[in-house]
Chain A
């Protein structure tokens, strides 16, 4: 970490060194500004240290183990395969450390002054830092993100964890109860189930209630295969060191209880009362489409400004806010923010599958050569287009959906048509052909799937 002489006056102060914050700081420095980045804990924030990156690391390990253990049909018998949770933990922590150091190096290279501590606004022009410095700024960007929402009666304790702690275990619990049924809960449940834990999910209504049911049904089928039990329509009432009691009276084994019921914008202790910054009714900072808050000197980005609470949205907003603060004509006008659930199968969504005049076409992976070869036919691609064949939304449920959705994002942002995708050569044999086939199918000319005459 760069701990040079503490600046007292800067062009720009960025509060929060998560992915949104360091993107903003580096872009502002690229634009010639004198930038200070205040981070209370670790550069890279939740994404690199506690959430996105660690969960993807552990999911890959769990998939590897699970696939090797279930490869008989390929002729692989791996009875003696075993997992060393301590080594897994070391790898996962090592990844975060490496990335955090990378961010620190990038900040240093770009001349961003990183200050460790917390910051409180004392006016619309100054921050009081915990190291005693008063940091005066011309523009400030708030990038404080969010934190796990706590559940009354299930506050973090000896066996109650939030998602961050759940991704830092150096052992595999025998049983795990997930409270909450969003994508975080689904990802953690499936990964620990694959590593051998008996996992239960407590859902108010159903898992992933806001997502396409067809995709969710595939996930639920896989969960059932993994022995994950979903307790739907009930709520947790109490817990002890080894179990959770439900509103139905039922008791579930719980060596570990994970609370993943959502994220709360983090504005505590920021001293926003000393500025013109206003919050909305949900506690998010109000911003316009240039990410300006109601205070002319202060901008805000990422989770703290509202839905969707996703790292890649924060990154884009970080760059825009920095450009706006530097006087450029940037605006947050992206058409789509892709969403990915790293479940099994992986679900990725860009744009919308509903709306007036929008037609949705589905292409199943059972008709895709690559998927058949790899025994991953458990999925599909849906493509939504309007009357002019302009693509409005894409959902991919497939291996590698997380990467494939990028093509759909560009297509939608570029106002591409079904023909644009269908008539572009996609590499064979890959999953990307599924998107091309879906476009062909939407045009009534699929080769590999017969939709009838």
Chain B
């Protein structure tokens, strides 16, 4: 008999949510057959059977599991009968005043901190404080209560920042794992001093190329050609010229980590929330490859079948809200810890002055949001101008086409 455990999938994931059993309790499964769907901060993971055998479920659907928890047992029928079914996976710590016996004598915390710990349901006897001589300080309690190991910036309690009156009916909805992860990433990104550069690109030639090639590509490769692969290729060239944008910032060592590879993240909306799928090594891929891959990855994200591997290590991210038929200028939040994000908006017909005449052109508005610790406005303008240069250059576009 073997245990199927919720294993450490990396990325600091410690908790998952059992979404769906893919096999029935007592069903016989083959090795590698997916048996259960577990949602983590980052993705929905299908957990495969390590060996062939009979499945004995150990946790119900819609329950939370932690790394190391046994999700199911697998083995022969006789083995499974003797296996003592453990109670459902440990749930979140529930503050139980009555049973929370605090051995104050061994606890290095002031009376006020001990009181805060009780209020937030944190067992002070289990915390290693970060204060002098290991004292437990207020911040430690708040960090633990937020499920974090350490948090340098305490987030004020909801009740402290907002006193809502609730004149009508309200509903309190707990965050899903994905929503929690998004919230956490966005909070982390908030430490970045964001600055934005916005401008317009004449995308008439780009539009024409896509229109011209669309049908051919569809027939020949079975891929729906969009503007995105061209933008990715243009961005790639701009990144090569402006390597500071293909980087991340180490605020502890005060160093810029400049990357010599080009993994482009694409922000994709999925039913469970925003995800960034990653096209790896775009410098080694053709426009058709990129078109196909971005399509596949986006589909996977929308179907919730995307894997963790397909969502990590991006070096620069593009958020294309143009496909949502929206936007003129937006300020996307940088995908922490990257240095910049490019927001792409809807291409629309606009009157512009060209050679002294008003003409109608296809105009693409974009926003380049950057970490002002790493790059300055002038570099951002240079980035934008360079991007326009490529996307407005019929030769460059033809070459790709």
Taking Cβ atoms with an 8 Å cutoff, the residues of A that contact B are 288-290, 292, 324, 329-331, 333-335, 388, 390, 413-415, 417
User: When the two chains form the complex, which single residue of A331, A388, A414 contacts B97, counting CB atoms closer than 8 Å?
Assistant: A331
Note all chain A residues with C-beta closer than 8 A to B104: 333-335
Q: Are B114 and A333 in contact (CB under 8 A)?
A: yes
Asked if B115 lies at the interface with its beta carbon under 8 angstroms from chain A, I say: yes
Note all chain B residues with C-beta closer than 8 A to A414: 110-111
A-B contact count (CB 8 A): 42
Q: Are B118 and A413 in contact (CB under 8 A)?
A: no
Note all chain A residues with C-beta closer than 8 A to B105: 335
B91 to chain A, nearest CB (A): 19
Note all chain A residues with C-beta closer than 8 A to B292: none
In the complex, given contacts A329-B95, A415-B108, A415-B133, what are 20 additional A-B residue pairs having Cβ atoms less than 8 angstroms apart?
A288-B101, A329-B115, A329-B118, A329-B119, A329-B121, A331-B97, A331-B114, A331-B118, A333-B114, A334-B104, A335-B104, A388-B133, A390-B108, A390-B133, A413-B110, A413-B111, A414-B110, A414-B111, A415-B135, A417-B132
Q: Are A331 and B100 in contact (CB under 8 A)?
A: yes
Asked if B9 lies at the interface with its beta carbon under 8 angstroms from chain A, I say: no
Q: How far is the CA of A289 from the CA of B105 in the complex (A)?
A: 14
Q: Are B110 and A415 in contact (CB under 8 A)?
A: yes
Asked if B98 lies at the interface with its beta carbon under 8 angstroms from chain A, I say: yes
B124 to chain A, nearest CB (A): 9
Asked if B13 lies at the interface with its beta carbon under 8 angstroms from chain A, I say: no
Note all chain A residues with C-beta closer than 8 A to B97: 290, 324, 329, 331
Taking Cβ atoms with an 8 Å cutoff, the residues of B that contact A are 95, 97-98, 100-102, 104-105, 108-111, 114-115, 118-119, 121, 132-133, 135
Interface CB pairs A-B, < 8 A, 20: A290-B98, A292-B98, A329-B97, A329-B119, A329-B121, A330-B118, A331-B97, A331-B114, A331-B118, A333-B102, A333-B104, A334-B104, A334-B111, A335-B105, A388-B133, A390-B133, A413-B110, A413-B111, A415-B109, A415-B133
Note all chain A residues with C-beta closer than 8 A to B102: 289, 331, 333
Note all chain B residues with C-beta closer than 8 A to A415: 108-110, 133, 135
Q: How far is the CA of A235 from the CA of B114 in the complex (A)?
A: 47
| 4 nearest CB pairs, A to B | A329-B118, A333-B104, A333-B102, A335-B104
Q: How far is the CA of A290 from the CA of B95 in the complex (A)?
A: 13
Note all chain B residues with C-beta closer than 8 A to A413: 110-111
Q: Are A417 and B100 in contact (CB under 8 A)?
A: no
Note all chain A residues with C-beta closer than 8 A to B100: 331
Q: How far is the CA of A265 from the CA of B284 in the complex (A)?
A: 85
Q: How far is the CA of A414 from the CA of B100 in the complex (A)?
A: 21
A407 to chain B, nearest CB (A): 15
Note all chain A residues with C-beta closer than 8 A to B133: 388, 390, 415, 417
Note all chain B residues with C-beta closer than 8 A to A329: 95, 97, 115, 118-119, 121
Note all chain B residues with C-beta closer than 8 A to A335: 104-105
**CB-based nearest A residue for B111:** A413
Q: Are B111 and A288 in contact (CB under 8 A)?
A: no
**CB-based nearest A residue for B134:** A388
Note all chain A residues with C-beta closer than 8 A to B108: 390, 415
Note all chain A residues with C-beta closer than 8 A to B95: 329
A391 to chain B, nearest CB (A): 11
**CB-based nearest A residue for B135:** A415
Note all chain B residues with C-beta closer than 8 A to A417: 132-133
Note all chain B residues with C-beta closer than 8 A to A292: 98
Note all chain B residues with C-beta closer than 8 A to A289: 101-102
Of listed B97, B98, B115, residue having the most chain A CB within 10 A: B97
Note all chain B residues with C-beta closer than 8 A to A288: 98, 101
Note all chain B residues with C-beta closer than 8 A to A390: 108, 133
Note all chain B residues with C-beta closer than 8 A to A334: 104, 111
A306 to chain B, nearest CB (A): 16
Note all chain A residues with C-beta closer than 8 A to B115: 329-330
Note all chain A residues with C-beta closer than 8 A to B111: 334, 413-414
B86 to chain A, nearest CB (A): 28
Q: How far is the CA of A324 from the CA of B115 in the complex (A)?
A: 12
Q: How far is the CA of A288 from the CA of B97 in the complex (A)?
A: 10
Note all chain A residues with C-beta closer than 8 A to B118: 329-331
A322 to chain B, nearest CB (A): 14
Q: How far is the CA of A414 from the CA of B137 in the complex (A)?
A: 11
Note all chain A residues with C-beta closer than 8 A to B132: 417
**CB-based nearest B residue for A352:** B105
A126 to chain B, nearest CB (A): 23
B246 to chain A, nearest CB (A): 48
B92 to chain A, nearest CB (A): 17
Q: How far is the CA of A417 from the CA of B131 in the complex (A)?
A: 13
Note all chain A residues with C-beta closer than 8 A to B110: 413-415
Q: How far is the CA of A331 from the CA of B121 in the complex (A)?
A: 12
Q: How far is the CA of A161 from the CA of B108 in the complex (A)?
A: 46
**CB-based nearest A residue for B105:** A335
**CB-based nearest B residue for A288:** B98
**CB-based nearest B residue for A386:** B133
**CB-based nearest A residue for B100:** A331
A324 to chain B, nearest CB (A): 7
Q: How far is the CA of A115 from the CA of B380 in the complex (A)?
A: 78
